[in-house]
Amino acid sequence: MLNEFEVSLQPVDSFTSTQLVKNKYENILQQLDSAIMLFDSEGVLTFINMQMAKLLEMPRVALNGCNLLQILQNPDLNRFKKKKIIKIYRETIFQRKRYHELIDESGQHWLITVTYGDQMDGDFLISMKDVTDYKQIEQTAYRNDKLATLGKISASIAHEIRNPLTAIRGFIQLLRPHLLQLGKDEYARIILTEIDRANDIIYEFLNSSKPSAPQKKIVSVHSLLKEVILLTESEALMTGCQIVLVEESSPLYVSIDVKQIKQVILNIVKNAMDAIDELDGERNGFIEIKLKADKKYVQISIRDNGRGMDPNTLAHLFDPFFTTKEGGTGLGLSVSYRIIRNHGGVISVDSTKGIGTEFIISLPLCTGC
């Protein structure tokens, strides 16, 4: 029997040859990495390729010949996909948009194109293409552009905030002898330490477009984490959450700017506490900090059982000024991203809305330390 790709030397009748060509093109469409489906002018699905059936998580035979309503009523179609299909239908058919972008449950970006009109003989062709890689490039460019702008304004803001702080510092020093007489010198000491800390934070947060070159020191990751947990203990107590550091048997060393990396871990732990706080006591808050290492990298995992993130927040959380909090600056994670990158590391995140979030910071291990 003739294979559909074999070229026959025998003359074939016109019906067979048309069928061969049809099969050949259908085969090509089946193998495309874009997902496609074709509805006829009556709204009936006449063609769907494997990729689209895979995306809908339904067999092609169950969909072919159905109209949109029948597809939506199919009990095997999951709720998330159903909602997305209705949204795409509204935008493309009623609002006549030819393109639609969506982020699926796993955070992949898709570009959906709808083609109809004269050239389609009344048919509607819907195609979906995975554009996650392009989106990432676009977001990195956007982030870098924003960071450059941030760099320009940060110098002046830092200057403006440091001026009043310097004045406060000066007056506290003048008041110090009086406080000493009242037996309250401890207050003056705390105020001065806190002003110095605020000054440091302003510089580290706002100078994010060119964070000062890391002043590297070789330290044990475990003791660094212990110090950070100590700093967050009182706040954790107030938020009603427990922070647990999973002990690591062999010591792991990294060459880092301690202040900068502490700032990154504090940002992430602080975000975790906020995410737990936003649950309004729905469950006991829990933050687990764990260490893992391979030959080259140490991985610091910070996992919380807070409110988690939706795909849109996940896609933007490293963007400067992106925040979902009323009093947030949206700078914490963009600065952290920059600091980790300057250390030759990476920061990644996995989150499920309603369940929790895990941040993983990978830093080059200091081998031979």
Ligand X SMILES: Nc1ncnc2c1ncn2[C@@H]1O[C@H](COP(=O)(O)OP(=O)(O)OP(=O)(O)O)[C@@H](O)[C@H]1O
Binding residues for ligand X (CB under 6 A): 267, 271-272, 275, 304, 306-309, 313, 317, 322-325, 328-334, 357
Give yes or no for residue 332 binding Mg ion (CB under 5 A). Answer: yes
Q: Which is nearer to ligand X, 177 or 354 (CB)?
A: 354
Residues 244-283 that bind Mg ion (CB under 5 A): 271
| The pair of three-digit structure tokens given for residue 313, joined into one six-digit string | 């927040």
Q: Which of ligand X, Mg ion, none binds 306 (CB below 5-8 Å, type-dependent)? A: ligand X
Q: Which of Mg ion, ligand X, none binds 124 (CB below 5-8 Å, type-dependent)? A: none
The whole-angstrom separation of Cα 35 and Cα 127 is 6
Q: Which is nearer to Mg ion, 189 or 325 (CB)?
A: 325
Q: Which of ligand X, Mg ion, none binds 317 (CB below 5-8 Å, type-dependent)? A: ligand X
Residue of closest CB approach to Mg ion:
332
Q: How far is the CB of 325 from Mg ion (least distance, A)?
A: 7
Q: Which is nearer to ligand X, 74 or 324 (CB)?
A: 324
- State CA 307 to chain mean position distance: 15
Q: How far is CA 148 from CA 79, 137, 142, 153, 234, in A?
A: 41, 17, 10, 9, 36
Sequence-distant (≥ 6) Cβ neighbours of residue 357 within 8 angstroms? 272, 275, 303, 304, 306, 308, 309, 349, 350, 351
Q: How far is CA 67 from CA 74, 85, 99, 177, 337, in A?
A: 11, 13, 21, 84, 47
Q: Which is nearer to ligand X, 86 or 201 (CB)?
A: 201
Backbone phi and psi for residue 153, each to the nearest 5 degrees, phi listed first:
-80, -25
Q: Which of ligand X, Mg ion, none binds 313 (CB below 5-8 Å, type-dependent)? A: ligand X
Q: Which of Mg ion, ligand X, none binds 43 (CB below 5-8 Å, type-dependent)? A: none
The whole-angstrom separation of Cα 34 and Cα 113 is 11
What kind and span of H or E run contains 177?
helix 132-181
Q: How far is the CB of 121 from ligand X (least distance, A)?
A: 47
Residues of the shown chain interacting with Mg ion in the complex, contacts defined by CB under 5 A: 271, 332
